[in-house]
Amino acid sequence: MARVLVVGAGLTGGACAALLRGATLGRIAVWDKARGAGGRMSTTRSTRDAACTADLGAQYLTLETERAGPRCSFYEELLSHGILKPLTAPVEGMVVKEGFCNYMAPQGMSSVVKYYLKQSAGADVFYEQHVTRISLRDGKWEVFRKMGPPEQFDVVILTMPVPQILQLQGDIVNIINESQKQQLECVSYSSRYALGLFYEAGTQIDLPWAAQYITDNPCVRFISIDNKKRNIESPEIGASIVVHTTVTFGSKHLDSDPAEVQQLILSHLERIVPSIPKPASIKCQKWRYSQVIKAMPNFPGQMILHTQPLLICGGDGFTCSNFDGCLDSAMSLAEAVKSHL
């Protein structure tokens, strides 16, 4: 019975676990260091009202119909289950291209990842499992985490951002050869902050758009009235606003005090939208690894670090930072693991 561990419950990890359904003879475990599924497709709840949510990572998905190929079936499946719906709310400053379709997730972006984790049919998904070391023991991988005892697996699939793979301790340090290490070190990411503003039910936010790209502000790049973007406007559910910073602001303030960063973003937001009401609660999210600037060149969405037992890594660092890139990596990882098993 082969035990398979997927590290990371983001889109690549979730889709990979779903694609491996029925392929393995044993159980699949998914570990993530966060408190819930989604990775950079995370949806956050207001601390005061669980029904009031906001997408702090990816905002919507874009399908290029002519180049979709095998990915088309993924979109069709998500649309047929109501996980995705066409993005119809007005987004100011969005570049509209012919042959491109935009979709939003009515229940929040994390619902896409949760759907795949459910499709994995029986994968054991555990949160707040921060992997720290990977070592070889008796022909298996012994995986250590911050909390709880180590466990052994026959196959380990790493889907976290590439710099986090390079931070792992144990035998993996010597297993990654010099050439692989150099290639992995070449992968780079942008950093940014996202702010979620949550309101009490009944608060009015009167703006003519659901989202807007900002081009002339050093701090704010994108603002979304998140519930409006997702066509959820109900007097019983509080509104939510999401603010994404520019990449320049994100890298400049990467290690600044979060409270100071939050105040800076709010002051810029108030200048852009002076009419914005005071929120009931705020969540400030730092994305150290927001989007891939430079991906791994000439790789098929994954890299095999060790064959027997199998240790393989993938994710948007091996493709590109969008839905299609993560799906391509998930398909490539699943194929490699299936042929190994």
Tokens matching residue 18: 């779903």
Angle at 329 between CA 184 and CA 338, to 5 degrees: 110
Helix intervals (H) in 149-286 = 162-166, 172-175, 178-185, 226-229, 247-252, 258-272
Spatial contact of 315 and 329, defined as CB atoms under 8 Å apart:
yes
The number of C-alpha atoms within 13 Å of 235 and in the hemisphere containing its C-beta is 0
Measure CA 241 to chain center. 19
What is the distance between the alpha carbons of residues 67 and 75, in angstroms, rounded to a whole number?
13
Backbone phi and psi for residue 62, each to the nearest 5 degrees, phi listed first: -120, 125
Q: Distance between the two ends of the chain, CA-based, in angstroms?
A: 10
pLDDT at residue 143, rounded to an integer: 98
Identify residue 147 by its one-letter amino acid code: M
How many C-beta neighbours within 10 Å does residue 86 have?
A: 12
What is the distance between the alpha carbons of residues 30 and 120, in angstroms, rounded to a whole number?
10
pLDDT at residue 300, rounded to an integer: 87
Provide the 8-state DSSP code for 169.
B
3-state DSSP assignment of residue 243: strand
Q: What order do you get walking across the sheet with 140-145 strand by strand?
A: 131-137, 140-145, 151-153
Q: What is the pTM of this model?
A: 0.95
What is the distance between the alpha carbons of residues 79 and 274, in angstroms, rounded to a whole number?
37
What is the distance between the alpha carbons of residues 271 and 276, in angstroms, rounded to a whole number?
10
pLDDT at residue 25, rounded to an integer: 64
Spatial contact of 61 and 103, defined as CB atoms under 8 Å apart:
yes
pLDDT at residue 65, rounded to an integer: 81
Identify residue 307 by its one-letter amino acid code: T
Beta strand 100-104 pairing with 85-86: antiparallel
pLDDT in tens, the chain (341 residues): 789 999 999 999 999 999 998 766 678 999 999 999 999 999 999 998 889 999 999 999 999 887 778 888 999 999 999 999 999 999 999 988 888 899 999 999 999 999 999 998 778 999 999 999 999 999 999 999 999 999 999 999 999 999 999 999 999 999 999 999 999 999 999 999 999 999 999 888 989 999 999 999 999 999 999 999 999 888 889 999 999 999 999 999 999 999 999 999 999 999 999 999 999 999 999 999 999 999 998 878 999 999 999 999 999 999 998 999 999 999 999 999 999 88
Spatial contact of 233 and 200, defined as CB atoms under 8 Å apart:
no
Spatial contact of 12 and 329, defined as CB atoms under 8 Å apart:
yes
Tokens matching residue 2: 């082969």
Q: What is the DSSP string of 263-315?
A: HHHHHHHHHH-TTPPPPSEEEEEEEEEEEEEEPPTT-SSEEEEETTTEEEEES
